Structure 1
Amino acid sequence: MENFSLRPKGDFTWTAKYRELYILTEHWLSDLKFYKEDLHFLYHLVDKYFISLINKENLEEMRNLSSGLSETSINCDRLLEKTSKHLTHLAELIDDPFKYDSHKFRSEHEELENEISFFVKKFRKIKKETFTDMEPVIQKEVKKLTP
């Protein structure tokens, strides 16, 4: 498991107060919203240069890129929804600490963290692939604009 920089090392998930988990989860939700906006930008970038990118040599590459962006966007939406629900449950736990089984809830929290960590790794990979594929096309555009 990759630890998020906002989460203290060790067994934080199992020893933290619900308010601390709430703050951490708010950060996750904020980060996921940022990733969603970043994905929107990547879609826009590919869409803008789509004609320049499509040719016989890289048609399969573009299909893979488009598929990867779509899959990443779907995963981001799913995690946004799951994290929002988790945040709601945390708020309920702060109000009534006996509302849910603490061990089960903390296990779910750890699982969500792992899912977000996995998502971030995949997101970074698709973002790098997108920029790698876009770089030659954008460089051609820049050369056309510079005298």
Structure 2
Amino acid sequence: MRAKQKKDWYGREKSIEELHDDARNWISEIDFITDEIRFLERLLSYNYINCKEAGLLEEIQKVIKKITAEKKVGITAKEVIQEQERILSNLIKTNAASQNENYFDTHQKLEAEIRFYIHKYKNIKKEIFTIIETILKKKDQKKLV
């Protein structure tokens, strides 16, 4: 199991353990994002009335659509990662892990997709924070008047 597996991306080799660690890290990241999405949805629902008063209702609805779509993407990505883990397990059992180029290609593509998913989610989170910040500022302005 310590044998290095050739990876064509980044010009280095990765062991089977490192490939497995990638998958575990991705699943952990997706689980964390799922928890954050749940929190952000609650945050938006608690501030819904303030959003309406601040005139940000349309923006909130757009962001809610985006975050709902990302939640679905996360669920699908997690299922794909788990399937990749099952395939890797079977390849290890049959001692075919180092010869399977298709697995490494799929792993590489999955890695790029996960990075894109995380990047996209972070941008949506920034949008939500900007909206909430705007709401809080308008709410504070009303208190001063």
- Please identify which structure carries the higher strand content: 2
- State the superposition RMSD in angstroms: 2.4
Q: Which has the larger radius of gyration?
A: 2
- Correspondence for 1:75: 73
Deviation at 1:18, TM superposition (A): 1.8
Q: In the alignment, is the contact (CA less than 8 A) between 1:54 and 1:62 conserved in 2?
A: no
TM-score normalized with structure 1 length = 0.79
Deviation at 1:59, TM superposition (A): 2.7
What is the letter of the counterpart of residue 35 of structure 1?
A: I
Q: In the alignment, is the contact (CA less than 8 A) between 1:22 and 1:91 conserved in 2?
A: no
- Please identify which structure carries the higher helix content: 2
Tell me, which stretches of 5 or more residues in structure 1 are unaligned? 1-8
Within-5 A mapping of 1:35-114: 35-55=33-53, 57-98=55-96, 102-114=100-112
TM-score normalized with structure 2 length = 0.80
Q: In the alignment, is the contact (CA less than 8 A) between 1:19 and 1:94 conserved in 2?
A: no
Aligned residues: 133
CA–CA separation in structure 2 for the residues paired with 1:101 and 1:64: 46
CA–CA separation in structure 1 for the residues paired with 2:102 and 2:125: 34
Report which stretch shifted further, 95-104 or 123-132: 95-104
Identity of aligned residues (%): 25
